[in-house]
Amino acid sequence: MLSILIVNWNTRALLADCLRSIYQHPPTGPWEVVVVDNASTDGSADMVRSDFPGVILVASAVNTGYAKGNNLAFAAAKGDFLLTLNPDTAFLDDSLDRVLKVLDDHPNLGCLGVKQIGVDGQVQSSVRGFPTVTGIFGDLSGLGAKLGGKWDSYRLSRFDYTVEQLAPQPMGTFLLFRAIALASIGDVHRPFDEEFPIFFNEVDLLYRLKLAGWDCLYTPNASIKHYGGEGTKQRRKSMIWESHRSLVHYFRKHHGTGFGRVGLPFLAAGVYAAAFIRARGFHAGFRP
């Protein structure tokens, strides 16, 4: 069974289009949709109740954030395959059947990502490497795009989106997980670390799957339409600071011992300086 899990916050029209596209292009096997609405004020929850009565709706009284919202969705799900899907996406064809077949054909895969097509019709860059000090420095400094190699190990600017291949961490817009893979690293009903409320939660999860021996695949043979960042755009400055804070927390969690611990304050200083520049100032809601 496939469980499609969507966390929504104030993107009613896009959510409606997303749900409609699922019903227009459903998988042939059993499936369900779980929507967690994070206390939207635009009538999203009422729309789901009235227009999509078959959807399992979890209407939160507060905005829980993305990680906890996903955990609420996983707790309500019954599938052997679990798809985290952003509400600003839409299916255009039978891609759901295609991705399920890929996982059926490759039992070593714990997760799968697909081609993402923007509103301009162009394929979006949607795969990155796991963060390393050199990769992050190469990204922030621009050396990665110029030199490639280890300096481009995070941004992966040379990734070929026409080729099916193993991929470290496809973006969380569309991630299809195998339940038994998630169960091998913890609670399948609560797989996301809520210390990463908005950003890097899927990076952390995919890294833990990798450490447990599960591969992740990118396939261009299935696709979604992706509008991009419609939730986070609503609070752009705070989201910039939150993304950089989560990056530092990722390093603290996974590389915060030995030599990594010594270098962490310097890394944090550089990351927060980049946040200040990108956000054009400090944000009062920032928490280190």
Asked if residue 111 and residue 88 are part of one domain, the reply reads yes
Asked if residue 255 and residue 203 are part of one domain, the reply reads no
Asked if residue 86 and residue 219 are part of one domain, the reply reads yes
Asked if residue 110 and residue 70 are part of one domain, the reply reads yes
pLDDT mean across residues, the chain:
89
Q: What's the pLDDT score for residue 286? A: 43
Q: What's the pLDDT score for residue 163? A: 98
Enumerate residues 6+ apart whose C-beta is below 8 A from 214: 108, 109, 110, 111, 178, 181, 184
- For 163-204, write each residue's pLDDT tens digit: 999 999 999 999 999 999 999 999 999 999 999 988 899 999
Q: How many domains does the chain have?
A: 2
Give the percent of the chain with pLDDT over 90.
72
**Mean pLDDT of the 273-281 span:** 59
Q: Is residue 85 part of a domain?
A: yes
Asked if residue 245 and residue 165 are part of one domain, the reply reads no
Asked if residue 269 and residue 165 are part of one domain, the reply reads no
Stretch among 33-42, 93-102, 150-159, 246-255 having the lowest mean pLDDT: 246-255
Asked if residue 188 and residue 52 are part of one domain, the reply reads yes
- For 225-270, write each residue's pLDDT tens digit: 999 754 444 455 667 776 777 788 888 888 765 545 545 666 666 6
Would the pTM count as exceeding 0.85?
yes
Stretch among 9-23, 89-103, 183-197, 233-247 having the lowest mean pLDDT: 233-247
Domain limits for position 88: 2-126+161-230
